[in-house]
Amino acid sequence: MTITADTRHLLALDEAAQDLLFREARTANAFRDEPVTDEQLRAIHDLVKWGPTAMNSQPLRVVVIRSDEARARLLPHLAEGNRAKTAQAPAVAILAADLDFHEELPRTFPHAPGLKRALAESEEGRRRTARLSSALQVGYVIVGIRAAGFAAGPMTGFDADAVAREFFPDGRHEVLVIVNIGHPAEGAWRERLPRLDFDEVVTVL
């Protein structure tokens, strides 16, 4: 689908920002040897932390892999096709849902003082909330990476349980997505795949 100028001007973001975040942004499979700094990672977080989550729960937790030692711990748990690009990426973010996010609710959702106790008694309810809101936050992180001028390479081809044991040994986190982060190298993109049109996706009642 090609978005026409008639729809682009209806958006609050200027066209360059629309392109940066969506139309020209691609999933990168190769990266240049340029660093992703702690300051840039902090800037991404300071932007995307404002995205909404259920009950302001903010259950996403992130481990950033940069060192060769940490990368060697991660690579064996990835699908073979994901290893080379992850070895090359300047930074790799492991995105996980904290199943005990309710411990922070007295601070993040203080106007519902009984909520922490209610969720403490419902493991399945906490798990559902953690998964849903963390999935929302994964989307925010990808857009935030693009907003910082980087390409994101999100992946789900890995042994999630093994990655969780390796990097979240408390057993209270579910790993959802791993994202390679960096400036794209030549040949980073595959051919652009088609998107479904408005009338195929949206029903207005």
Which fold would CATH assign to domain 26-185? NADH Oxidase (3.40.109)
Check residues 162 and 193 and name the one with the higher pLDDT: 162
32-72 per-position pLDDT tens digit: 999 999 999 999 999 999 999 999 999 999 999 999 999 99
Is the Cβ–Cβ distance between 112 and 130 less than 8 Å?
no
104-132 per-position pLDDT tens digit: 999 999 999 899 999 999 999 999 999 99
Q: What is the DSSP string of the chain?
A: ----HHHHTTSSS-HHHHIIIIIS--B-S-B-S----HHHHHHHHHHHTTS--GGG---EEEEEE-SHHHHHHHGGGB-HHHHHHHHH-SEEEEEEEETTGGGGHHHHSTT-TTHHHHHHT-HHHHHHHHHHHHHHHHHHHHHHHHHTT-EEEEE--B-HHHHHHHH-TTS-EEEEEEEEEEPBPTT--PPPPP---HHHH----
